[in-house]
Amino acid sequence: MPRTATPQTLSREITLSGHGLHGNRPCTVRLVPATSTTGLVFVHTPTGTEIPAKADLAGDLVLSTTLVKDGVRLQTIEHLLSALTGLEVEHLRIEVDAEELPILDGSAAPWVEAILQAGVVSLPGRRRFMKVTQPMEVRNGDRWIRVLPFDGLRLRYVIDFPIPALGRQSRELTLTPDKYRRELGAARTFCLAQEVDMMRARGLALGGSLDNAVVFGADGPLNESLRFEDEAVRHKMLDLVGDLALLGAPLLGLVEAHMAGHALHVGLAQAILANPGCWEWTEETQTSNVRFFFQASQLETAAQPA
Ligand SMILES: [Zn+2]
């Protein structure tokens, strides 16, 4: 699936149900194709509140990403937004009947499968990218995230946990829908076993289990197996892709993150939006310019190490 130069939505509706990770309440999500370039817009159906997926509406960012508008909160939106952004579906109405989206298997894979089954269609017009022209950085102590100019969306992520089962993991890739599906989408959310009691005491992760999260103990994961040896850093990249959806448009830049999380991911999106002198709109990417001459996969192999 090459990168597309046209705005995209789904070919047909998708409905998925499950329980929220933190509140453990049931939720049904209906993805309704857009008829114009609306962006990604959530609709909380009990109140009819429309909440665009925009960084200026971000609320609580502890362990998940939340949007807040008119007193309505929508929590744990990042995995669905990640699947949509990773597969370049950027215009959609997302109807939800509760305040937290279903965690499903803890990854974006169920969304990816449903989206690929439904298929995507182009909307009229050209896809507009936010092309970074000047570096920007957001820091919190020794945790940081920054973006640099790059022709494409390249992600470089490092995590470094002081327990041997996790340790230091790093990964880097230039995002395409195919790479998203193969390398990031199936990576599950994770936590440390020692954090579980603390999270529950704060009313978080009440719906968490080994069916929807990887839990790392002192000697390794408590789950039977991992999907990738470095599943944790891949999930951080999945989260980053989802949080960058709050820019409201696809990004062209190299994003480097060190031990970041939702607050820094969204902080970077807010910094980009607040500094319009550091980026410009473009309808062209290097990939879309040259794909008339090369297959996207050949180009990827030839031009990029990851
Ligand atoms: Zn996540």
What confidence score (pLDDT) does residue 195 get? Answer: 87
Catalytic entry in 19, 91, 262, 265: 262
Cα separation, 123 vs 29, in Å, equals 22
What confidence score (pLDDT) does residue 305 get? Answer: 43
CB 128, CB 39: distance < 8 Å:
no
Cα separation, 8 vs 208, in Å, equals 33
Cα separation, 92 vs 32, in Å, equals 6
Place of tokens 């949007």: 67
Ligand 1 centroid–CA 197 distance in Å is 19
Please indicate whether residue 262 is annotated as part of the active site.
yes
Cα separation, 166 vs 301, in Å, equals 29
What confidence score (pLDDT) does residue 65 get? Answer: 92
Q: What DSSP line would sit under 189-234, residue for residue?
A: PEEEHHHHHHHHHTT-STT--TTT-EEEETTEESSS--SSTTHHHH
What confidence score (pLDDT) does residue 295 get? Answer: 39
CB 42, CB 84: distance < 8 Å:
no
Cα separation, 154 vs 254, in Å, equals 5
Ligand 1 centroid–CA 82 distance in Å is 9
Tell me the whole-structure pTM to 2 decimals.
0.91
- All residues with CB under 5 Å from ion ligand 1: 189, 239
- Tokens for 249? 């448009």
The candidate with the shortest Cα–Cα distance to 111, out of 11, 190, 186, 210, is 186
Cα separation, 101 vs 304, in Å, equals 35
What confidence score (pLDDT) does residue 44 get? Answer: 98
Instruction: Classify the phi-psi angles of 177: left when phi > 0, otherwise alpha if psi is within -120 to 50, otherwise beta.
Output: alpha
The candidate with the shortest Cα–Cα distance to 58, out of 289, 268, 304, 303, is 268
Bridge partners (DSSP) listed for residue 211: none
What confidence score (pLDDT) does residue 239 get? Answer: 97
Ligand 1 centroid–CA 163 distance in Å is 20
Ligand 1 centroid–CA 188 distance in Å is 7
What confidence score (pLDDT) does residue 10 get? Answer: 98
Ligand 1 centroid–CA 302 distance in Å is 31
Ligand 1 centroid–CA 118 distance in Å is 23
Domain extents for the chain? 8-303
Ligand 1 centroid–CA 289 distance in Å is 33
- Mean pLDDT, the chain cut into blocks of 10 residues (306 residues total): 81 96 93 97 98 95 90 96 97 97 97 98 95 98 97 96 91 97 97 88 88 92 95 98 98 97 97 97 65 40 42
CATH superfamily of 8-303: lpxc deacetylase, domain 2 (3.30.1700.10)
